[in-house]
A and B are shown apart, each in its own frame.
Chain A
Amino acid sequence: MKKYSVFAVAREAMRHHTGWNRAWRDAQPKKRYDVIIVGAGGHGLATAYYLGKNFGITNVAIIEKGWLGGGNTGRNTTIIRSNYLQDPSAAIYEKARSLYETMSQDLNYNVMFSPRGVIMLAQTEHEVRGYKRTAHANALQGVTTEFIGPERVKQLVPIINLDGPRYPVLGGLWQARGGTARHDAVAWGYARACSDMGMDVIQKCEVTGVRSEGGKVTGVSTNRGDIDCDKLGIVVAGHSGHLADMAGFRLPIESVALQALVSEPIKPCMDVVVMANTVHGYMSQSDKGEMVIGGGTDGYNNYTQRGSFHHIEETVRALVETFPMVSRLKMLRQWGGIVDVTGDRSPILSKTPVENVFINCGWGTGGFKAIPGSGWGFAELMAKGQSPLTDAFGLNRFQEGRFIDESVAAGVAH
């Protein structure tokens, strides 16, 4: 792999950019791999990357039915933060956030991590109390975050309306080193690094069956033939229930549509990420100047990658309350992703009833921020059978009643 560098850019500028190579090989499936990862979203690719980097396992295929990052990874609004309430969440999200800090250097690929700061507005007394509690918990967990008052919020976000028609802004939970990153670049950067380690990133290859013998996985069936493996990692977000069905077990997961939209590009007006969970909308400004906006999920199961129109209306209404200037903006595009929501709104990184089949799912509406941490922990789980980062996220927690109850703590999980 040729390294990307300022010298490479200069050199290519001299020869009309004729010397760039493909970032990753267009691989054909082999007969057998040590490990197959199903799903080339951020979590699948990161898992493969850390299998190679941390455990030297490189006979790996990452199989994707569509295109790289074409699932939720390429559809999300890229909010990155780690100030969750519960210890296991704070650990994995903070691991991820800290890996984001150096990801561009580690991958030699610019993922445009922008630690511009994330505010979660407190708009009811309950939220004030909840976020103060989170700030204290985070202090114990070693996660840097603070509760700030309304004046500070206004200072950070001049376009905000502190006394909205329904809910005043009473303060906010502020993580200064939270932010955003370029979603496609995260997938592309990992894919390039995986390919460079000799792994096969295979696009347009749909897994249609999971084969096993005596309760132990032997491989997968795909639209491009059978492929054998010793270990299988299922990392397919909204399609997890479907894949689990192929493997012969059930999941505590429902798939629903989550939408996002962007406005026309405008001059820089807001250089932090703001989440208004009570009125239910959040917004940041992309480098192109578009306001990137997200809101709530539909209340019913859906695999269509488009959500209900009234959710757009509700989201925009919430943001007009919070940022009155938004009312003058035209919206350019809207889309949806199928997110995988668990019973306690926390992810599952776990062994499964089928030996050597592992599953990483349930990231729901908020897993982009977790990609490197999840990949790190899940790779360890797949390689060694156990990882301190994933221990608490096992499938067994639903039977044992050990929930990681972030839904109550966060309301919105982005």
Chain B
Amino acid sequence: MLVLTCHACGVTAEETEFHAGGEAHLKRFGPGSSDEDFEEYLFMRANPKGVHFERWRHANGCGKWFHVARDTMTLEVFGSYSAQAFAPPEELLSRIEDRRPGWRGQD
């Protein structure tokens, strides 16, 4: 059971108020892109053991999307950040670094 904080409305609740939306920061490739890029965008996933960034929606609450940083091995939640972001904020990354020293080198 995850306890998440919605970045849009600030509510902290367990996962049943939310809906998971898959890997974060995928770059969209549409018509005209190469087969490789399109496949990558649609199907290929990082699926890491450890630190993972993903999209969630506050489905039973304010209805907004946001981002979450989480550990898939321990279910520890590192924090949430805005849906309008192309990458996790530096402050969150360094918080993860404190908890998982050297994790960035792992992937």
Q: Which residues of A contact B (CB under 8 A)?
A: 241-242, 245, 250-255, 298-304, 308-310, 342-343, 398-399
Contact = CB atoms under 8 A, between A and B. Distances in A.
Nearest to A310: B16
Interface of B: 1-2, 15-16, 19-20, 22-23, 35-36, 38-40, 42-49, 52, 54, 70, 72-75, 107
A398 B43 contact: yes
7 contacts: A242-B47, A245-B107, A251-B44, A252-B45, A300-B15, A304-B72, A308-B1
Nearest to A308: B1
Contacts of A253: 45, 47
Given A242-B49, A300-B20, A301-B54, A252 B43 contact: yes
B39 A254 contact: no
Given A252-B43, A398-B39, A399-B35, A309 B52 contact: no
B20 to A, nearest CB: 4
Nearest to A244: B47
A254 B52 CA distance: 12
Contacts of A241: 45-48
Contacts of B42: 343, 398
Contact of B75 (A242, A252, A304): A304
B20 A299 contact: yes
Contacts of A309: 1
Given A255-B47, A343-B43, A308 B15 contact: yes
Contacts of B36: 399
Given A301-B52, A399-B35, A251 B47 contact: yes
A301 B44 contact: no
Contacts of B107: 245
Given A300-B2, A304-B74, 18 more contacts: A241-B45, A241-B48, A242-B49, A251-B44, A251-B47, A252-B43, A252-B45, A298-B20, A300-B15, A301-B48, A303-B72, A304-B72, A304-B75, A308-B2, A309-B1, A342-B43, A343-B43, A399-B36
A250 B2 CA distance: 27
Most buried by A among B1, B39, B43, B48: B43
A162 B51 CA distance: 46
Nearest to B106: A245
A383 B2 CA distance: 45
Nearest to A396: B39
B1 A399 contact: no
Contacts of A245: 107
A342 B44 CA distance: 9
Contacts of A302: 72, 75
A310 B47 contact: no
A258 B23 CA distance: 19
